[in-house]
């Protein structure tokens, strides 16, 4: 079993529904969702385009997947996650936009947000005691030869290359896209997602995702509201 601490919108959120439709899978239910019919993209090409993102579900990484450290039980992780979430204020992203990140497409904040970066930093540090060190195979999967010296140190110390100065909040929508196809895929994504990208997105929970076996789809174990979330909804 591997665990990960992500952000994902609540199950009823319009952005989550549209993104699950795009990916072809809802991580809340674990069930496939009928993918959209894309006029300029064959069904098999679309399935390949979203295959890797579909397995993880619609999310933004705050603490990358990890095995529990020796002697740690799931209930301890859950207790710490509930306590941590209840002490952190939500962060609002005024607007998400579609971006090409080294060949794959994701939703990212239109402008950098220091509070969001700080939240990711705090999660990275607070939950590191629950993480078993990565195996040699896990390190190899990160292609360390392609990482910068700082990213390689992050991988060895924190189990993930893209933390602190190398962190960038993103919600993945595709796998790698050949350069010749990127303008078309960006246009398709823009048309598909435009209706749900006008509203701000509130980071109002921490989601515990689990992977039951290597290669299995990630599913949502539990959502943990951040401090004041329920109060504002009922105010």
Q: Which domain holds residue 211?
A: 2-234
Side-chain half-sphere of 19: how many Cα atoms within 13 Å? 29
Provide the domain count of the chain: 1
CA 224 to chain centre: 15
CA dist 10 and 223 (Å) reads 8
pTM: 0.93
From its phi and psi, is residue 24 left (phi > 0), alpha (psi between -120 and 50) or beta?
A: left
3-class state of residue 107 by DSSP = strand
Longest C-alpha distance within the chain, in Å?
52
> Do 81 and 129 contact (CB within 8 A), yes or no?
no
pLDDT at 229: 63
Domain harbouring 224, CATH code: 3.90.1140.10
Angle at 21 between CA 16 and CA 23, to 5 degrees: 95
pLDDT at 234: 34
3-class state of residue 24 by DSSP = coil
pLDDT tens track for 155-168: 999 999 999 999 99
3 Cβ contact list (under 8 Å, min separation 6) = 65, 66, 67, 68, 74, 77, 130, 208, 209, 210, 211, 221
pLDDT at 231: 43
205 Cβ contact list (under 8 Å, min separation 6) = 7, 8, 10, 85, 223, 224, 225, 226, 229
pLDDT in tens, the chain (235 residues): 999 999 999 999 999 999 999 999 999 998 888 877 777 777 778 888 999 999 999 999 999 999 999 999 999 999 999 999 999 999 999 999 999 999 999 999 999 999 999 999 999 999 999 999 988 888 888 889 999 999 999 999 999 999 999 999 999 999 999 999 999 999 999 999 988 999 999 999 999 999 999 999 999 999 999 997 654 443 3
pLDDT at 187: 93
């Amino acid at each position: 079993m591997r665990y990960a601490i992500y952000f994902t919108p609540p199950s009823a959120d319009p952005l989550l529904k549209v993104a699950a439709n795009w990916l072809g899978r809802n991580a809340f239910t674990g069930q496939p969702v009928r993918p959209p019919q894309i006029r300029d993209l064959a069904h098999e090409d679309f399935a390949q385009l979203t295959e890797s993102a579909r397995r993880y579900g619609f999310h933004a990484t705050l603490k990358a997947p990890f095995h529990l450290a020796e002697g740690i039980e799931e209930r301890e992780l859950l207790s710490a996650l509930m306590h941590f979430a209840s002490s952190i204020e939500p962060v609002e992203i005024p607007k998400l936009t579609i971006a090409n990140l080294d060949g794959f497409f994701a939703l990212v904040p239109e402008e950098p947000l220091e509070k969001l970066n700080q939240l990711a930093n705090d999660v990275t540090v607070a939950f590191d005691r629950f993480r078993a060190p990565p195996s040699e195979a896990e390190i190899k999967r990160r292609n360390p030869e392609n990482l910068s010296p700082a990213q390689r140190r992050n991988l060895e110390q924190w189990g993930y290359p893209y933390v602190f100065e190398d962190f960038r909040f993103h919600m993945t929508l595709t796998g790698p896209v050949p350069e010749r196809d990127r303008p078309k895929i960006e246009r398709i994504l823009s048309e598909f997602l435009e209706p749900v990208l006008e509203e701000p997105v509130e980071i109002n929970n921490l989601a515990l995702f689990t992977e039951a076996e290597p290669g299995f789809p990630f599913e949502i174990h539990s959502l943990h509201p951040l401090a004041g979330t329920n109060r504002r909804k009922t105010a």
